[in-house]
Amino acid sequence: NAGVTQTPKFQVLKTGQSMTLQCAQDMNHEYMSWYRQDPGMGLRLIHYSVGAGITDQGEVPNGYNVSRSTTEDFPLRLLSAAPSQTSVYFCASRNPGLSSGANVLTFGAGSRLTVL
């Protein structure tokens, strides 16, 4: 299936546990990013990557790590989960460029994480 694939769709963790949210895209997009979505709020950027080997922090990076070893994959790691990280996480990708529609992010279906 073409697009952005996220796994798992649902996950429950205990405080202090670690886990990795997986994200893969098959559109050969250079740019990938992770957002979190909390009730009553828009999506907030956690980390982003402009290409393999290059990552940077977004608006809310604390408690999360990322790496980009390949163009296709952009995993998000929670090192020590906290209840404040209970959220829905979205991975997105796009290609660079300034033509119309180039900034249109393609989103995955989301991963719902609950930290107890």
- Give me the residues that bind another protein (CB under 8 A), please: 4, 31-33, 35, 40-45, 48, 50, 56, 58-59, 90, 92-94, 96, 98, 100-110
Question: Given the complex with another protein, which of 17 and 105 has the nearer CB atom?
Answer: 105
Q: Which amino acid is at 106?
A: T
Rounded-to-integer distance, Cα 79 and Cα 16, Å:
8
CB of 16 to another protein, least distance (A): 29
CB of 50 to another protein, least distance (A): 5
Nearest to 4 by CA among 50, 73, 60, 87: 73
Strands 111-115 and 10-13, how do they pair? Answer: parallel
Nearest to 20 by CA among 66, 87, 71: 66
CB of 83 to another protein, least distance (A): 22
Is 33 within 8 Å of 4 (Cβ atoms)?
Answer: no
The two most distant CA atoms of the chain are separated, in Å, by 45
CB of 14 to another protein, least distance (A): 25
Tokens read off for 48: 């982003």
Question: Given the complex with another protein, which of 108 and 113 has the nearer CB atom?
Answer: 108
Question: Given the complex with another protein, which of 17 and 59 has the nearer CB atom?
Answer: 59
